[in-house]
Structures are given as C-alpha cells and as structure tokens.
A and B are shown apart, each in its own frame.
Chain A
Amino acid sequence: MKEKILNAIAKNSKISKEDLAIMLGYDEIRIEQEIKEMEEEGIICGYPTLINWDNVNCEKVTALIEVKVTPQRGQGFEKIAERIYKFDEVETVYLMSGGFDLTVMIVGKNMQEISNFVWNKLAPLESVTSTATYFVLKKYKEHGLALVNGVSEDERMLITP
C-alpha cells in the first residue's frame, strides 16, 4: 500500500487525499495515516515544486561540481558531506563511485556568486583536495518530467470506435 501511495504522489504531490483514496481504492483516513507515518519515518522528506526557472524573469545559474576529498579517520565521507550540504546554496550532494567522490549541485544568482562559493567556501575545506566546476546551460528534464513549454495538445480525433 505504501508503495502504491508513493508511486501515485511521486509525480504529483498536489493530489488530494480524497482523490488518492478513490483512485487506489483505500479509505481516506488510512491514506492519511500512511502518509503521516511515512513523513515521520523519513520516507517522504518534502513536497518541493518543479520549476523551470528558465521561464522566469530572474537570474539563476546552476553548477555541478565534482569534488575530490580525503576521507577522515573514523568518519569516512559523512563528516565532509555534511559540512558541504549544510550550505544554503547547495541543492544536491551525492557520494559517487568512480573518478571523484562527491557531486555537488549549487544554485546562485550568477557565475560570480558560484565561483565565490567554490573559492571561498568549498575549496578551502581541509579535506577537499580538488574541485571541477561545470555550469549548466539548459535543463531538459528533471524528476522524470520534461521541462517543456506549455501543455501538449490532445491530437486524437474526438470520437473513435
């Protein structure tokens, strides 16, 4: 049941509990309980909105930074990851396998702001040994949804057998 609820709200967190109850065939009170439980258990961690900032008249720059670090004795990567993700500008932090250790995505007003962050905050951290910064030019798809303009039209004929 949890999985069914999650699958339904993953693509549309705005869906009402009432609709969810009808669509999944459970009663509303149970749905509400399950969702509350999952919020408490840290399964559902938030309900952000997917925004295509390119279509908003306000400047925003996203950068992806590959970070190499030396893990600290006894703490592995946890400590350094935490020190990085606590910055407000940081949107995303992943621990990676392969050629580098952490992927850090950050959002700023402009390139200047992002390079300031890298030079003044990220690179100087003791265990960070190197960074490589890539600026995002355009976003096509996020969270499984294409960031396209407008709603696509229903091109089917109105009546078919």
Chain B
Amino acid sequence: MRNPLSKTIEEIKPSGIRKFFDIVSEMKDAISLGVGEPDFDTPWHIREEGIYSLEKGRTFYTSNAGLKELKIEICRYLKRRFDLEYNYEDETLVTVGGSEAIDAAMRVMIDPGDEVLIPEPCYVSYLPCVQLAYGVPVGIPLQEKNQFKLTKQEVLDNITEKTKILVLPFPNNPTGAVMTKEDLQEIAEVCVEKDIFVLSDEIYAELTYGQRHTSIASLPGMRERTIVINGFSKSYAMTGWRLGYATGPSEIIKQMIKVHQFAIMCAPTTSQYAAIEALRNGDADVERMSTAYDQRRRFLVESFKRMGLECFEPFGAFYVFPSIQKFGMSSEEFATRLLQEQKVAVVPGTAFGDSGEGFLRISYAYSIDNLKIALVRIEEFIKTLEK
C-alpha cells in the first residue's frame, strides 16, 4: 500500500504541550498551573444571550463572514478600544477562534518557500500553520534580557529576500511580554521599509497591566500591511464558544473569507449572538476580570521573588515565565520532577519553542487560594533542590 500521508504533515511535529498533557493526565490529584484559558465562567448576561438565541430557534447558518450586527460591533469595539478603523463589509471576518484566523491568514498570504518570521517562545500554532501553507517558518529566539520583546535588530538579522510575513504575538503567550507603542514603532519602520506583512495576534489585548495595548495596525503605514487577529476566548472568558475574528485590508480579508467559506462555512451561530452581547455590554466584565488577573500577577511575581525564583515582570496575558537556569536542569526535567515530587503541573518553556529552554510557563488563571496551595509546593520543591 502507498503511504497515505503527505510529506507536509509528516514533517510537522506533534505539539510539545500534548506530550506533557499525557504525563499530567496520568497523575491523580495533581494541581495544575498549566492552563491557557480563563478560570472565570463566561459572564452570565453573555451566556443568557446564547441561550435566548437557541430558544428563538436561531439555529441556522449565518452568512460566511459572520452576522452583520456582530461585524458592526467588532468594528466599533476596535475603534473604541484600540483606535483601529475597519469597515464591517469587506475588512472583517468572524472565525472559529483566533486559531482559524491564523490558519486562514497564512494560507492566503504564503506561496511555497515564502519565509515567515516567528518570534519565539510563542503560541504553538503559528509554526505548523506556516508549514501547512508550504511556507518556511523562521524562528527568532527572543531574549530575557530584552524582557522577551522583539527588537528591530532581531528582525533585521533574520530578513532575507524571501521574507514575507512577520508574526507579532503580543501580549505574549507564554512569556507575558508586551510591546509598547515605541517598541512597535521601530518594528513598523522595518516592515514598511522592507515591505513585510504583519500577522498581529492580539488575542490578549485586553489583558495588559498598568498600560493599554497598542495595535501595530494603528501606526502609520501599517494598516495596509497588517492582519489583526483577535477573539473572545481570553477577554470575555469564552474559550469553549470558539469565536474569534480577523480584520485587515479587504484585498486579504476577501481571500480569507474564501478559505473560511469552503473549509468552515460559518462560525457557530449561537456564539455569534452571544458575542454581540459581549461587545455591547461586556466592558465591565473585562475590567473586573483583568483587575483580578493583575492582583494574582503581583501575587505570583512577589512570591517567586521571595522564594528566589528569578522572574522578569510580565505586563500582559495571564502567565509568568520564571527562569530555572540556576538549578542546572532542563525545563522538561524540572517540570516533570515538580509534577512527580510535589504534584504541581506547569508547562516547560520548550513547549513554546527551543528558546523557551530554561523557563517555565506558569499560568495565573486560578484563584488566589489555588495559587497559594501551589506556591507552597513549588517552594518546597525548590528547597529540596537547593539542599
């Protein structure tokens, strides 16, 4: 029999997170600081709107790009929060999570052999999506000394004739790093000068602490070369609803609609109705949840400092990314032993790219009480290492 599989898929490595997940799920009564999703339930008024749409029998397909009312609200929201101007008619696409938007964007922009710059450590899906689109992923290892921000020099060092897209994953999962307006300005200049497109994954845009998120698309010359990815998963605690969106120049969005139309048809209808409510009346919820994350963030950073776990202060998302280099073992070894000896699950930095070696991703999408229990155990573990 012939090999049923394509070379492309065989080249794609299974997710490093998956491997660790399998180990953890064997473990009874482990406590986890390993999740990448909010601990809050979706605010009730949003869930209620979803229920209402079901009661009303709104169980049909919507138009491919999404409900008109939802697209209008998305554009209003982006204007209100990030000063981004898009029209809902041909510059906005509602997708099955930010995930689908990332995939669709890669597929419509990449020709075989085109290079895509991916700052690492980063979320797990950019690299395989580039590969599935026959592109060539080029990792840029970010440095802790730069607080895991992307610098102009790092971009310049990795640009070749073939470079077409730069992925800009900030606020960052797993490091919690953010890029300020000034930081972004430098990157924007390079992109304009070298004629590079940007895929800006802003799914954590609402979760920044002590500063507001700036979208690179709001900088001069960038709107026409940026696809902005966002969604409801993190900001409104709606991961299971599977709803996100992409906005950008109509030339690109129109083609993404094509991919979406044939691969997906339309995003879930119930979720779309709920999302309209989220955008219209959810500002207070976002504020409430991000205040809670901020408090937990301070709590973790402070506790790690106290127990001698080095950790730069993250200003976004809901992760801290402490360094474990001084213990002389790999991230995976540290995470595995922490799990076996103290039953605390965290994710090794290497699950997010080789440059995550020496770090752990610790999520604070947990109540302070849960964090406290886990911290006692982590401290206990560190003490045994220092003996």
**Which residues of chain A have a CB within 8 Å of any CB of chain B?**
7-8, 19, 22-25, 154, 156-161
Tell me the nearest residue of chain B to A152, going by C-beta. Answer: B41
What would 8 A/B residue contacts be, using CB atoms closer than 8 Å?
A: A23-B299, A25-B298, A156-B35, A156-B39, A158-B21, A159-B347, A161-B17, A161-B124
- Give the residues in chain B near A23, CB-CB below 8 Å: 295-296, 298-299, 368
Are B299 and A158 in contact, with the CB atoms below 8 A? no
Is B24 part of the binding interface, using a Cβ–Cβ cutoff of 8 Å?
Answer: yes
- Give the residues in chain A near B296, CB-CB below 8 Å: 23
Per-residue CB proximity of B293-323 to A under 8 Å, as 1/0? Answer: 0011011001000000000000000000000
Are B295 and A158 in contact, with the CB atoms below 8 A? no
- Give the residues in chain B near A19, CB-CB below 8 Å: 299, 368
Of A25, A154, A158, which one neighbours B24 at CB under 8 angstroms?
A158
- Give the residues in chain B near A154, CB-CB below 8 Å: 39
Q: How far is the CB of B23 from chain A (nearest CB, A)?
A: 9
Is B147 part of the binding interface, using a Cβ–Cβ cutoff of 8 Å?
Answer: no
Tell me the nearest residue of chain B to A156, going by C-beta. Answer: B35
Tell me the nearest residue of chain A to B123, going by C-beta. Answer: A161
Are B368 and A160 in contact, with the CB atoms below 8 A? no
User: Total A-B pairs in contact (CB under 8 Å)?
Assistant: 53
Is B340 part of the binding interface, using a Cβ–Cβ cutoff of 8 Å?
Answer: no
Are B34 and A160 in contact, with the CB atoms below 8 A? yes
Measured as residues with beta carbon below 8 angstroms from the partner, the interface class of chain B is 20 to 34
Q: Provide the bound-state CA to CA distance between A139 and B25, in Å.
A: 38
- Give the residues in chain A near B34, CB-CB below 8 Å: 158-160
Q: How far is the CB of A72 from chain B (nearest CB, A)?
A: 42
Q: Provide the bound-state CA to CA distance between A19 and B371, in Å.
A: 12
- Give the residues in chain B near A8, CB-CB below 8 Å: 295
Q: Provide the bound-state CA to CA distance between A161 and B98, in Å.
A: 13
Of A7, A24, A25, A160, which one neighbours B35 at CB under 8 angstroms?
A160
Q: Provide the bound-state CA to CA distance between A23 and B293, in Å.
A: 10
- Give the residues in chain B near A161, CB-CB below 8 Å: 15, 17, 36, 123-125, 173, 351
Q: Provide the bound-state CA to CA distance between A23 and B36, in Å.
A: 21
Of B35, B351, B368, which one neighbours A158 at CB under 8 angstroms?
B35
Q: Provide the bound-state CA to CA distance between A161 and B34, in Å.
A: 8
Tell me the nearest residue of chain A to B301, going by C-beta. Answer: A22
Tell me the nearest residue of chain A to B99, going by C-beta. Answer: A161
Give the residues from 57 to 90 in chain B that come closer than 8 angstroms, CB to CB, to chain A.
none
Of B32, B299, B347, which one neighbours A22 at CB under 8 angstroms?
B299
Q: Provide the bound-state CA to CA distance between A112 and B17, in Å.
A: 63
Q: How far is the CB of B342 from chain A (nearest CB, A)?
A: 15
- Give the residues in chain B near A160, CB-CB below 8 Å: 17, 21, 34-37
Q: How far is the CB of A161 from chain B (nearest CB, A)?
A: 5
5 closest A-B pairs (Cβ-Cβ)? A23-B295, A159-B34, A158-B32, A159-B21, A160-B36
